[in-house]
Amino acid sequence: MKYTFGVKNNSEFYIQHNFLPTETELRFENVDELKKYNLGRSYLLENCLQIPTKLLNESSLLEIGPDSGENAYSAASMGANVTCIDANPKSIQHLKKLFSKSRYENNLSKTYVGDYLDTYVEGKFSFVFAEGFLHSVLNKEKFVRKIESNMQIQGFFITSYYDQFSIFGDLLHSSIFRTLVKSDLGLESPYDNLEVAVDYGEDIFLKKWQTKKHLRSLRTWILDVLLNPTMSFDRTIDTEWLLRLGNSIGLHLWQSWPNLKRFNNYEWHRDMKSPDELLEVSIQHYHDRVLENFFGILLPEPLEKTRSRSRNHDLSSKLLEINKSLSEQNWSKVSLNVKSLISDLIAEESKTPTQIFSALKMTLAFAELFLIDDFVEIRQILSGQSEKFSSESIFFLGYWGHPNHYSSYRKCW
């Protein structure tokens, strides 16, 4: 089946190809499996997003896009009364089955099948969850405004999405995969023969898949990540944009992963800031730390703040250029940008030992993503200059990229 692009959100892709992107093998009637799952959810909610799970007890929760329903079920087991909406009918069917005759059957209050943007959802909730798909929605502003209208005052909104940086790893995998499908299977596009392409993906990615524990199947990951047309740079969310929109409609950043608030801020007891001032602090912090979050390493505090800010800005613009070129499958541009990024990092004004140190650390971190031999090899494959590809190279096996950006917002008025 040929695939049509320009979809409204990723549900259309799931419906067209008849799969649930997050379906797991978990059996929640086994209490140990549920406990283990709940530990993961508690870590996310409490440690990353500063939301005590106790607040879920007797709360009203709207989950948009629950897919196979594990998160809704987990929240119900913590006492939440759950309402769910998903545009994929198969998702709501699956979710109802999960709840039916379970201990938490009565915690499922209501379900809707439909696009959230086009469906009237009754009520105001103390929690709204919209995880793993906000980037895929075309009209993001309308979507967030509607969420706000479904929230109680003091309620929390929790979301996760591909931001402009965190999409890198998945884009890289998808780019490698699509190129190999073309060169090895002779398919102009994987959608020309999806079954064959997915089978081939299983050959390439099986060993890599086995290096980590996963809840979903390799096949589902291939479809949802490598072949999902909404996984593109153009759809990613600019976190600054979401922070500003939220602030303008009364949804204030509560906490996030990566953290957008300054640690050890010792001015808080003298200098209480207004919501607008706090927003600017978070946005500044985001730009100051975005490279650090991308590379996953701590950078030394720069000595010259203004200078280092403009340097960070230049470097992060280059990273965005790399992601954009990957998304457009323009590999020669990616390779140029990687080269110039690394040489910029090395040539970094070598004034103070701290700056040299920080430049070196970043260069090494980036070079590690592109271990030189693998990088040359992958670049050659993607530009059609080589047919040799080792799906067993250390780089390929070991690199998994970043989790999506997670954040919680509180409705303050």
- Can you tell me whether residue 201 is helix, strand or coil? helix
- Closest CB to ligand SAM among residues 235, 311: 235
- Can you tell me whether residue 94 is helix, strand or coil? helix
- Spatial separation of the C-alpha atoms in residues 85 and 87, rounded to whole Å: 7
- Spatial separation of the C-alpha atoms in residues 334 and 379, rounded to whole Å: 9
- Spatial separation of the C-alpha atoms in residues 257 and 392, rounded to whole Å: 31
- Spatial separation of the C-alpha atoms in residues 78 and 58, rounded to whole Å: 9
Residue 115 touches ligand SAM, criterion: CB under 6 A: yes
- Give strand pairing partners of 104: none
Place of tokens 């922070």: 243
Smallest distance, ligand SAM to C-beta of residue 204, A: 22
- Single out the residue of 137, 243, 326, 382 in contact with ligand SAM (rule: CB under 6 A): 137
- Single out the residue of 28, 53, 66, 254 in contact with ligand SAM (rule: CB under 6 A): 66
For the chain, the residue count is 413
- Spatial separation of the C-alpha atoms in residues 129 and 73, rounded to whole Å: 13
Query: 63 and 75 in contact (C-beta within 8 Å)?
Result: yes
- Spatial separation of the C-alpha atoms in residues 172 and 254, rounded to whole Å: 31
- Single out the residue of 133, 162, 200, 286 in contact with ligand SAM (rule: CB under 6 A): 133
Residue 126 touches ligand SAM, criterion: CB under 6 A: no
Smallest distance, ligand SAM to C-beta of residue 315, A: 30
Site string for ligand SAM, 46-65 (x = CB under 6 A): ------------------xx
Residue 215 touches ligand SAM, criterion: CB under 6 A: no
Residue 282 touches ligand SAM, criterion: CB under 6 A: no
- Single out the residue of 44, 85, 194, 359 in contact with ligand SAM (rule: CB under 6 A): 85
Residue 86 touches ligand SAM, criterion: CB under 6 A: yes
- Spatial separation of the C-alpha atoms in residues 180 and 260, rounded to whole Å: 38
DSSP symbol at 48: I
- Give strand pairing partners of 251: 411
Residue 131 touches ligand SAM, criterion: CB under 6 A: yes
Residue 117 touches ligand SAM, criterion: CB under 6 A: yes
Using CA atoms in the order 281, 283, 289, 295, what is the torsion angle rounded to 10 degrees? 160
- Single out the residue of 88, 164, 220, 407 in contact with ligand SAM (rule: CB under 6 A): 88
Smallest distance, ligand SAM to C-beta of residue 314, A: 33
Place of tokens 């592109």: 370
- Closest CB to ligand SAM among residues 21, 201: 21
Burial class (CB in 10 A: 0-12, 13-18, 19+), 319: buried
- Closest CB to ligand SAM among residues 111, 308: 111
Residue 26 touches ligand SAM, criterion: CB under 6 A: no
Q: Which stretch binds ligand SAM (CB under 6 A): 6-14, 151-159, 253-261, 313-321?
A: 6-14
Smallest distance, ligand SAM to C-beta of residue 404, A: 9
DSSP symbol at 192: G
Q: Which stretch binds ligand SAM (CB under 6 A): 3-11, 101-109, 172-180, 322-330?
A: 3-11
- 245-274 residues in contact with ligand SAM (CB under 6 A) are none
Residue 222 touches ligand SAM, criterion: CB under 6 A: no
Smallest distance, ligand SAM to C-beta of residue 317, A: 29
Burial class (CB in 10 A: 0-12, 13-18, 19+), 290: buried
Smallest distance, ligand SAM to C-beta of residue 63, A: 7
Q: Which residues bind ligand SAM (CB under 6 A)?
A: 9-11, 14, 21-22, 64-67, 71, 85-88, 91, 115-117, 131-133, 137
